Copies of this chain bind each other. A is one copy, B any other.
Amino acid sequence: MEEIRLTPTSYIVLGLLEQEEDVTPYDLKAMVAAGIGNLWSLQHTQLYAEPERLTKAGYLTETREDGGRRRKLYSITAAGRDALHAWLSKEPDDELPEVRDIGLLKVFFGADPGPIALKLAQAHRVKLREYEALEQTLAGTEPAGPLTALRAGLGHEREWVRYWSGLAGEDDAR
């Protein structure tokens, strides 16, 4: 049993596996795409590597399908649940997220904001509409976490639309 450091990637995998058993990396890919991936996306290859790491450390068990391709199926262990819940209830630190937007980086270093703003205002409008639709779907469902997190995404998408629209010399109407 190896000691490993748990990263955000680890917690995403643990969090998803807490909800469902006997999950393949491919299933994980779909689960990520369905929700958390909006907030924190992962490459599909990480969804092969990370469960392996977590298994070595005792947080997951790995079994094989009987027939067919004998794909790997992962499930969370008690130790995995413990680690997840310990993290969820740990005293929060006050680490702030960074913006890390490529377009903004270019603007910082002197790029003409116009074309960037046009493109990104449009892209954020699309994303905003997608979130608004998702909000309808999630409204009133349990657990509440995904909806609460989504509302942060909504706020930031609105802010991005406001910001880039202003720079593009448009109004921000949709």
Contact = CB atoms under 8 A, between A and B. Distances in A.
A47 interface: no
Number of identical protomers? 2
Interface residues of A, number: 61
Interface in A65-97: 84, 87-89, 91-97
A109 B110 CA distance: 40
Instruction: Report the 8 A-B pairs with minimum CB-CB distance, sorted nearest first.
Output: A15-B109, A94-B123, A108-B149, A88-B111, A97-B101, A92-B116, A92-B119, A159-B159
Given A88-B110, A110-B88, A155-B159, A8 B105 contact: yes
A57 interface: no
B105 A12 contact: yes
Contacts of A107: 145, 148-149
Nearest to A15: B109
Interface of A: 8, 11-12, 15, 18, 35-36, 38-41, 84, 87-89, 91-113, 115-116, 119-120, 122-124, 127, 143, 145-146, 148-149, 151-153, 155-156, 158-159, 162-163, 167
Contacts of A148: 107-108, 113, 167
Contact of A97 (B99, B115, B146, B158): B99
Contacts of A158: 159
Given A96-B123, A156-B99, A108 B145 contact: yes
